[in-house]
Amino acid sequence: MTTKTKKTTPVEKKLISLADIVIQAADRSKDPTFQIPIRALSNVSFNERKGLIEMGSKKQERSFFNVGMAKKFMQTVLVADALSELQRADLTTSLREIYYRTKHTIRDSHENTFDTQDESDPVIEDLEVSLAALREELHVRAENSGSIVGPVVFGDDGDRVDCAKLGKGGYSVPSIVEPEYLEIRRCTADFVLLVEKGTQWNRLSEDKFWRRYNCVLLTGNGQPPRGVRRLARRLHEEYKLPVYVLVDNDPWGYYIYSVIKQGSINLAFESQRMAIPKAKFMGLSSADPERYELPRNVGIKLNDKDIARAKELMNYEWFKKPAWQAEIKRMLASGLKYELDALANKDFQYLTKKYLPRKLKEKDWLD
């Protein structure tokens, strides 16, 4: 009986090409060197036409014979080898398991290849951008840290998941949500509401807000992980659903919204597949405390870090719109920031019964 030979995947070929660099350099008695794109503000630009943050062409060299780079070079090769192993076995694994798979003590020394996961995670990101392959395509997943509820049905590993019939806890969003792993079988919602905080998502789910307003409720419990952002993008693209973002009224909430809308600086190479340029900022805005008569005593005084971050945001190209400049200046002038939780000062169900219904009716959002 003939055994079928497994084809080498395009991603595996890219990983093998890194090994080829080392081998070819050794054959020529040269210093093996990788070119790694720089993932920093200095190497990104804002494409106003597309509404996306895009990565530039600046790169840094990572070579083996350079004492300052030798360890990072070795770490890159180790992680690439582990990722190749995943491709050959057609398995997925976690960021944590990659760390342990590649961690060992170098023979005849007390030097570890990796001391903490904070060292291995950035190497994976370096490989993503260098190979133009998303982490999901490298078969690496993060812990599930998002939830979804509403009129949407998924196919997950052959199982039918109806997010309207899972109770108020909803469905845990996987970190890999590409079509080959998660099928969207049906969605009859009118829009997606992406909520920063799990506590507010819980309130909305418990009050069945999604049913009364026929929407999908999605949360990433803070800065949304890739799976949540990618799923929101898929619902927006495949079902033409508007995406509204609900965050705290502070510089960190503003930035979370911008990451969802334009993409992030660190992962600018993924913007084309992750960002949602038409996403709208639903609130909490700096005008809302006055508009909804929130007392000043539920506000929190801006600290030096908040103020510095707000001023930094004002200098980003994607926050240069007059409406956003006015929004941030208003917050700074008030000296206060407000959490979504502060709406409970009015009533426990104020968010679901008053605040959001009025926002939707008046189309009160920022673009």
Spatial CA neighbour of 288 closest among 325, 242, 339: 339
Separation of alpha carbons 133 and 325, rounded Å: 35
Told to judge if 100 belongs to the known catalytic residues of this protein, a careful annotator would answer yes
Q: Binding residue per annotation — 118?
A: no
Contact call for residues 173 and 147 (beta carbons, < 8 A): yes
Q: Find residue 14's DSSP bridge partners.
A: none
Spatial CA neighbour of 235 closest among 271, 188, 291: 188
Contact call for residues 300 and 340 (beta carbons, < 8 A): no
Q: What is the DSSP string of 33-58?
A: EEEEE--SGGGEEEETTTTEEEE-S-
Q: Which residue has the tokens 């509401």?
A: 193
Contact call for residues 38 and 60 (beta carbons, < 8 A): yes
Spatial CA neighbour of 148 closest among 136, 165, 131: 165
Residues 6+ positions from 226 with CB-CB distance below 8 Å: 135, 136, 142, 175, 270, 274
Contact call for residues 73 and 62 (beta carbons, < 8 A): yes
Q: Binding residue per annotation — 248?
A: yes
Spatial CA neighbour of 357 closest among 215, 218, 240: 215
Angle between helices 322-334 and 304-314 (to 10 degrees): 160
Out of 100, 181, 239, 350, pick the active-site residue: 100
Q: Which residues are annotated as a binding site for Mg(2+)?
A: 196, 248
Catalytic machinery residues: 100
Q: Which residues are annotated as a binding site?
A: 196, 248
